[in-house]
Amino acid sequence: MVRKIVERVPLEVLKKDLEKYQKKALELGATDAKIITSDMILVDERVRAKCIYPKCSNYGTNANCPPYAMEIDLVRKIVKNFQYAIFIKIEIPSIEMAGPEVKLKRLHVRGQRKNHEIVSKIEAEAFFDGYHLALGFAGGPCKSTFCPNDKCSALVPGQACRHPLRARSAMEAVGMDAFRMAANVGWDVYPIGATISPSEVPHGTRLGLILIY
């Protein structure tokens, strides 16, 4: 049942809804999900700098990555206007994130796609529950997840995103220090790259965030 918009959601209703979204994330495949307050969301220019130097292959290729993603100052203002968020973690087999074959064989796509889908589904559910300003952020670029071989249609004047209900900016693309946030809530996150063997890390991690209210 779609709810009407109200000026202020009662605290007891908000608490139940946050717990519902937390449970929903787990049902959709998240390894863990936590209800956090907005002051736990860390925004840092250095995160955005890592997209630029050394330049990521997705930089400038889609509307959800820098330089087109929301600017850091705007993200800070947006976060301050929220009180609560759902923070999700998906543990990924290390073989799908570490080693030189990951990008060649697109092994990373399964985890990225699941992350985007969990985030967008919770964002949508919150929207129809009356949290009309809910915003979701996933992990990993939407370009390599959904449109690896196509030009981003959202960058073409007069056109829109091919996947508007699923594709979201990554937390890191808007300057959120997802790794440090994960460490602060007690989650284990390991740095992973093409030069790391899958045997060197227990698992990979995908992180997502939905600002609720």
Residue 193's pLDDT is: 84
Percent of the chain at pLDDT exceeding 70: 100
Predicted structure pTM score: 0.96
Cis bond before residue 100 (omega within 30° of 0): no
Residue 116's pLDDT is: 97
pLDDT tens readout for residues 65-79: 999 999 999 999 999
What average pLDDT does the segment 20-25 reach? 98
pLDDT tens readout for residues 132-183: 999 999 999 999 999 999 999 999 999 999 999 999 999 999 999 999 999 9
Residue 138's pLDDT is: 97
Tokens, residue 26: 């787990």
Q: Is the pLDDT of residue 87 over 90?
A: yes
Q: Is the pLDDT of residue 107 over 90?
A: no
Average pLDDT, the chain: 96
